[in-house]
Amino acid sequence: MDTSDRPARLAVGVLGAGRVGSVLGAALRLAGHRVVAASGVSDMSRRQAADRLGVGLSRPEEVIRQAELVLLTVPDDVLPELVAGLAATGADLRGKLLVHASGAYGLAVLDPAAEVGAVPLALHPVMTFTGRDDDLTKLNGCSFGVTAPLMLRPVAEALVIEMGGEPVWIAEQDRALYHAALAGAANHMITLIAESQELLSKIGVEHPGRMLGPLLGAALDNVLRLGIGGLTGPVVRGDAGTVRKHVDALILAAPEAADAYVALARLTADRALAAGLLKPEAAERLLDALGGNIWT
In 93-174, which ranges are continuous DSSP H helix? 111-114, 153-162
Interatomic CA distance for residues 247 and 166, integer angstroms? 42
Q: How far apart are CA 132 and CA 160, in angstroms?
A: 21
Residues 253-285 have pLDDT tens digits of 999 999 999 999 999 999 999 999 999 999 999
Query: 180 pLDDT exceeds 50?
Result: yes
Helix, strand or coil, per DSSP, at residue 110: helix
Q: pLDDT per residue over 21-32, tens digit each?
A: 999 999 999 999
Q: Name the average pLDDT for the chain.
A: 93
pLDDT at 2 over 60: no
pLDDT value of position 6: 54
Using 50, 70 and 90 to split pLDDT, how confident is the model at 131?
confident
Beta bridge partners of 15: 39, 72
The strand pair at 97-100 and 119-125 is best described as parallel
Contact of 277 with 231, CB cutoff 8 Å = yes
Res 4: pLDDT: 45
Single pTM value for the model:
0.88
The 10 Å CB-count burial string (b at 16+, else e) for 82-108 is: bbeebbeeebebeebbbbbbbbbbbbe
Rounded CA separation 139/51 (Å): 18
* CA gap 142, 229 in Å, rounded: 25
Based on its alpha-carbon atoms, the radius of gyration of the chain, rounded to whole angstroms, reads: 23
pLDDT tens sequence across 111-129: 999 999 999 999 999 999 9
Per-residue pLDDT of 214-231, as tens digits, reads 999 999 999 999 999 999
